[in-house]
A and B are shown apart, each in its own frame.
Chain A
Amino acid sequence: MRARWTQGAARGLASLADSALFLPLLIFALILLVNAIVQPGLFQPRIVRSNTASFAPLILVAAGQAVIVLSGSLDLSVGAGMSLINCILSAIMTDSVGSSALALPAGLAAALLMGLVNGVAVAYLRLPSLIATFATSAIWFGAALLLRPQPGGFVTPWISTFYYLFLGPVALPLLLLLAALGGWALVRRRRLGRYIYAVGSNEEAAYDSGVNAPRVKVGAYLLGWGFVFLAAFAVTAQMSSGDAYMGNPFTLNSIAAVVVGGISLAGGKGTVLGAMLGGATLSMVINIIYYANVPSVYQEFVKGSIIIVALALTIVYRRRVPRLAGTGP
């Protein structure tokens, strides 16, 4: 009987090791541990809330990038897009609550439009996604600069208040994250979700099977930018102003989060949850740098190194995994 138990446990562990979440979970746990050491009181409700609030933007934009990468593309314009949405929000919002009723839909519309442009360029015009989104990022950035040449502008106070409302440990940021996760869980159970993975895995085969690959890719971009909008909203609520430069670090960070989260840059493999974990991990790394009194000058260097290490790790890990995966007939 003991033998069966250990056999079952071994199989359970093996399947966990196989699962796409293993590595991101492991890394997350490790970083959490380190963070807990350098930042005592990490698990107090107040700290949890404030951390969640500041981590939320990166986690959300990582989710957006994840959806796009899963479909086989990449989007280097998410950071500039966030800046643009932020500037639009701060431009439209005034003191009245009514203005936010105008601003938020406008921001969402802008996000979806950006996603549409990128999606059409990549899926229908067949431009290489890396360079095409590089180009569109300049366009979004320029537009953001037009709206907000200098940081400033106005964000209706109720938004920030709203953002920081809480009940116990649960605050709006957490709800945003759950909403994103829930939204993706919904899509995953529909054809679009399945087809995003199919197209990312092998577009040709998916097309031969009758899947409208270009339409799926555009769908992935639109969905991804929905998450980007949420991220921009979160940042705006925190910053209470508009700044055309604020989005810049998010592009590279979202890619780092996606990679750390176990998503293959070639598409078709990985989970959005993993990317969100990756975003959390990366945010905690920044936390660690701060609390361990590592001079902020090291931040850039560390982030770049982490991406490289994570990339290399995923490649190495993936070369080993086939041996762990199931047996033949």
Chain B
Amino acid sequence: MQLILELRGVEKRFGGVVALDKAELLCPAGKIVGLIGANGSGKSTMSRIINGTLQPDAGEFVYQGKRTSFRSPMEAARAGISMVYQNLSLVPDLSVWQNIWLGTEPLRPGGFLDDRTARARATELTRELCGWLQVDRPVGTLLPAEKQLVEIVKCLARNPQLLILDEPTAPLERAHVDLLFSLLRKRKVAGRSTIFISHRMTEVTEICDYLVVFRNGRTAGTIDFERENKDERRIIELMTGEPVEVGNARPRTATGSRPILEVQGLTLPPKLRGVSLTVHAGEIVGLAGLQGQGQEELMLALAGFRRFEGGRLAIDGEARELRHPSDAIRAGVALVPGDRHHQGLFLNHTVYLNAVYCRTALPKTPWFMNRAGLKEAVRRLCADLRVKTPSIFTPVGELSGGNQQKVVVANWLPLDPKVLLLSDPAKGVDVQAKAELYDLLRRLAERGTGVLLYASDNEELLRACDRILVIYEGSIVGELANRGLTERDIVDASVRSEPKGGRDLPGSRRVNA
């Protein structure tokens, strides 16, 4: 079997976080190689190393039989490697055909653009994948699915030897996926190779010839579909490793307390399609699911940042309409956002300012803030939460991730929120701080706060939550009570889900492996 790409012993760290730990990826030429793995397993990092966006810290990179390294995506492109990003490289004001040829325009003699050829060939190229699109339309007017398809065509137009698709089917409908697959099969016939990164089990087993499973930055295993069975259970086993034997550390009796957050049929196109859930006072409810299923959007909607189009919301029994985060805050809802740098903190400002900021939007705070009193309060808060900072006037950007996150939470504590929403709070946080954070959540729950927590790391959910809801494509598809639950159960429920247009399943339901 001839290999077009061989990566061995690849290592990559980002600060203190290890993304790839001696990972390996061998791609047979002329095949479609699938790359699958849980969140944080390193597959995205790997793909960006292949395409030249990132450079590995260590490891061997052999392409077409030669040792190489690419210092930029341009270099990789020149060598015939092309990648379809999740952030599209489309320019909204240019037309479809102009975008397809952007950077590689066909020219007439004298250096003039050969628009006629470009347009004709673009029409041909799009015919298969998105033939209904008029190539003269400005890309900005396209639907997200259509933009994704145009981006794919754009990459294909450069006829790469190796095409990398990173979660290409996320915005696509089933019909589009079929078109894409037939196109990929044509590439195979022409001897070109493809790397297909996806979390959707059904698609990966359908289109790929060869599968590489990543886990924790390493290659957990490979399966050659041309020779072996497409065993989904084996794939999941490889993805999660040994089953994690954990239940909840303490049995909790949250049932029986009043519902503090009730959501019915919350809809927010394009991501949320009828979410329904309930959180009781004193309960920690987890939200599990693969990345991009609507968790972020749900948190932002519940915090009042996005007005949802359908559905009802009640906080502590009172129906609420949230038009702005200030409405949510006044109702007692606090959000610890997913991206603390861009959404949760003022990085250049002091711990003090960050910790007192939400008071400024509250009418009950006096206009002349009692700085002396507040300084003392912040100091005590930092001591309570064990925030490691030389002073409360240190710029918060200088703190470690875990301590920054504590400051974000500290911001809300004096308000005594009824509902605390957390969007992947422990991402990029060291082990010690993570434990302290979850300890804090436990204490808050004991005081009566209802906690809704989304974490991309299923182990965290298992350790902290009383109940786990599984979200898939914008609705809650399952509910698992955390009694003897394993990570495999969660992953299973997350990947074995209905394709688009599936129904959401109310009430409790144990998903059987």
Contacts and interface: CB of A to CB of B under 8 A. Distances in A.
Chain A directly contacts chain B within the complex, with at least one CB pair under 8 Å: yes
B475 interface: no
Given A190-B111, A194-B105, A322-B141, A210 B74 contact: yes
Given A198-B94, A205-B89, A326-B134, A211 B103 contact: yes
A328 interface: yes
Contacts of A190: 111-113
For the complex of A and B, 6 pairs with smallest distance between CB atoms: A210-B103, A329-B132, A201-B93, A208-B89, A268-B93, A209-B103
Contacts of A205: 88-91
A326 B141 CA distance: 8
B423 interface: no
A198 B91 CA distance: 6
Interface string A318-329: 000010011011
Interface of A: 189-191, 194, 197-198, 200-202, 205-206, 208-211, 268-269, 322, 325-326, 328-329
Nearest to A329: B132
A305 B145 CA distance: 42
Nearest to A270: B93
Contacts, number: 69
A189 B73 contact: no
B89 A209 contact: yes
Nearest to A268: B93
B255 interface: no
B94 A189 contact: no
A202 B91 contact: yes
Contacts of B88: 205
B152 to A, nearest CB: 14
26 contacts: A190-B111, A191-B105, A194-B94, A194-B98, A194-B102, A197-B91, A197-B94, A198-B102, A200-B93, A201-B91, A201-B93, A202-B91, A202-B93, A206-B103, A208-B87, A209-B89, A209-B154, A210-B74, A210-B77, A268-B92, A268-B93, A325-B141, A329-B130, A329-B132, A329-B133, A329-B146
Contacts of A328: 143
B141 A191 contact: no
Contacts of A208: 73, 85, 87, 89
A191 B92 contact: no
Contact of A206 (B74, B85, B102, B113): B102
A34 to B, nearest CB: 32
Contacts of B154: 209
Interface string B106-130: 0100011101000000000000001
Contacts of A201: 91-94
Nearest to A211: B103
B104 interface: yes
| B-side interface size class | 20 to 34
A194 B113 contact: yes
Contacts of A210: 74, 77, 102-104
A205 B92 CA distance: 9
A148 B242 CA distance: 83
B102 A209 contact: yes
A79 to B, nearest CB: 28
B134 to A, nearest CB: 7
B91 A206 contact: yes
Nearest to B131: A329
Interface string B233-246: 00000000000000
A225 B113 CA distance: 24
Given A189-B113, A205-B88, A211 B93 contact: no
A326 B74 CA distance: 34
Given A268-B91, A269-B93, 8 more contacts: A194-B98, A197-B93, A201-B91, A205-B89, A208-B85, A209-B154, A210-B102, A268-B93
Contacts of B146: 329
Interface SS majority for chain B: loop
Nearest to B104: A210
A206 B137 CA distance: 18
Contacts of B134: 326
B380 to A, nearest CB: 42
B390 to A, nearest CB: 32
Nearest to A210: B103
Nearest to A202: B91
Contact of A202 (B92, B112, B113, B141): B92
A325 B154 CA distance: 23
A221 to B, nearest CB: 20
A51 B90 CA distance: 43
A210 B115 CA distance: 19
Nearest to B98: A194
A281 B229 CA distance: 73
Nearest to B100: A209
A54 B91 CA distance: 38
A209 B88 CA distance: 10
B111 A191 contact: yes
A209 B146 CA distance: 18
Contacts of B73: 208
A221 B484 CA distance: 67
Contacts of A206: 91, 102-103
Interface in B127-164: 130, 132-134, 137-138, 141, 143, 146, 154
A156 to B, nearest CB: 37
B117 to A, nearest CB: 13
Nearest to A201: B93
Contacts of B102: 194, 198, 206, 209-211
Q: Which of B74, B89, B91, B141 has the most CB of A within 10 A?
A: B91
Contact of A189 (B104, B112, B137): B112
B342 to A, nearest CB: 16
Contacts of B112: 189-190
A326 B138 CA distance: 10
B153 to A, nearest CB: 13
A265 to B, nearest CB: 13
Residue with the greatest number of chain B CB neighbours at <10 A, chosen from A191, A197, A200, A205: A205
Contacts of B103: 206, 209-211
A200 B140 CA distance: 14
A213 B32 CA distance: 34
A202 B89 CA distance: 9
Contacts of A322: 141
Contacts of B85: 208
Contacts of B130: 329
Contacts of B115: 189
B407 to A, nearest CB: 30
A119 to B, nearest CB: 21
A270 to B, nearest CB: 9
A198 B139 CA distance: 12
Contacts of B74: 210
A87 B157 CA distance: 52
A198 B103 CA distance: 10
A213 B418 CA distance: 49
Contacts of B87: 208
